[in-house]
Amino acid sequence: MVCQKLYYLQKCLLLVILAFIATFRGDAQCNADFSYSIDSNTGEVQFTNLSTLANVNQAVTYTWYSNPAIVLSNDTNPVIHLKPGLQSICLAIANAGCNDTFCTTINMPPVHCRATFQYSLDFTMDTVTFTNNSSGLNLNYYWSFGDGNYSTEQHPKHRFATNGWYYVCLNIVNTDTTCTDVTCEFVRINRNSPSPCVGDFSFETDTADSYNVQFTNTTLGDTGITYFWLFGDTVTSTLKDPTHRFDTIGNYTVCLLVSGPNCADSICKIVEIINIIPFCKADFSYALFPDSGNNATRIAVFTNKSVGPNLTYEWRFNDVNPTAEVSPVHYFGVNGTYNVCLIVRSGVLCTDTLCKQISIETGLPEFNSLSGVTVYPIPARNVLHITFNKPIASLVTLKLFDVLGNDKTISLQKGIDNIEVGITDLPAGFYILELKTDTEVKTIRIMK
């Protein structure tokens, strides 16, 4: 039993001796390894060495390098600044005669930097102090104060000459131009003045288009005020009373900034855009004109007065197929009462209809005594000549109608047998010439 215990003790001692010899000869194993974390605000990478050594009691060297072999550091856990993009980073270790290398590819994102600032007004010193709170590494600063002045200081002070609103911008760029950012803010300068102003406005949504809003400026105070509107959707305006159409439903913070020679003020209000059913209303008027063929009032000129967004039209005359014209001209072939209807549609959400009864009756009898009336030239240019076969025996009213019902009226005295009518001021088109007494009427179609 004693001999058996001695045998195992000798064997254990032999293994210890062999391990010591292997270590002394450099046969022990080592393993290079690391992890890392990226700071996207600075472009810096924190490396954590996870290597195992052959002998912790002997010297060890660490070599961090990029591929191709550019030595970056010899520290154990270095912080290394890397440019954006894919980069191969390696760690080589040497310890107790053991050498090993570990490489990995790092995808560096674009460097993040953020421009931001605060400001304070000191009217006792008549200056504004800007405090730069931007984040990033190795930054350069470029200030624009909105009054034509600039600065490259980190925390500048600036004096604005007059009251008002100034659009101050800070642009930051790091030294290797891998990061840039800009921020802008309206700065209000409103020193005590004898003529203060109070900005205010009201607004009203268009009942026919709920996305369209009319703003009414009700600012009081200083004269010579300028206006700057921010509608909360990247659109701005310098009009006094703008109309703005919002693209989508939702709540918008609309702000009005006012500036005068002696004052500055602002006010913001919430404008709610909701998707309501559009409003549409059918409406029309008409004018009747005589037909020269039978002296009956058979020509109707319709004027469309409908309201609503994106309207389409359908006219029904009770005697022919419908038409989609906006304001048609229609000829009624026979006497009678016609039910004329206009149907308007705004998409699929709104439809409205208006009908009117129109009576078509035979007109006054034609001139018996003036059946030989001659009108020339047709088409006419500057002057229209009208001649009668004999001098007229009664007062006659001459009217020249266009298709919209506008007329040019001339009263003719007794005893004349010709007249010249100047038409230089009339646009080219179709006209109806009407000669009328209390008991008779004659119509002639002419062209210019």
Question: At 76, is the secondary structure helix, strand, or coil?
Answer: coil
Alpha carbon 304 to chain centroid, angstroms: 32
pLDDT in tens, 152-182: 999 999 999 888 899 999 999 988 777 889 9
Cα–Cα distance list, 182 to 61, 144, 420 (Å): 44, 11, 75
Compute the distance between CA of residue 290 and CA of residue 302 in angstroms, rounded to an integer. 15
Average pLDDT, the chain: 83
3-state DSSP assignment of residue 177: coil
Give the rounded percent of residues in the chain with a pLDDT score beyond 90.
41
Question: Looking at residue 6, what is its pLDDT?
Answer: 46
d(CA 87, CA 93): 20
> How does pLDDT run across 190-228, given as a tens digit for each residue?
877 667 789 999 999 887 677 899 999 999 887 788 999
Residue 133 or residue 378, greater confidence? 133
Q: Which pTM value belongs to this model?
A: 0.41
Mean local confidence (pLDDT), 377-391: 82
Residue 98 pLDDT more than 90?
A: yes
Distance of CA 319 to CAs 22, 66, 102, 331, 403, Å?
A: 115, 89, 93, 10, 21
Residue 438 has pLDDT above 70, yes or no: no
Q: What is the pLDDT of residues 253-281, one digit of tens each?
A: 999 999 888 888 899 999 998 876 677 89
pLDDT, mean of residues 371-392: 80
Residues 313-349 pLDDT 10s: 999 987 667 899 999 988 887 777 889 999 999 877 7
What sign results for the dihedral spanned by CA atoms 345, 346, 349, 355? Answer: negative
Place of tokens 């700065």: 187
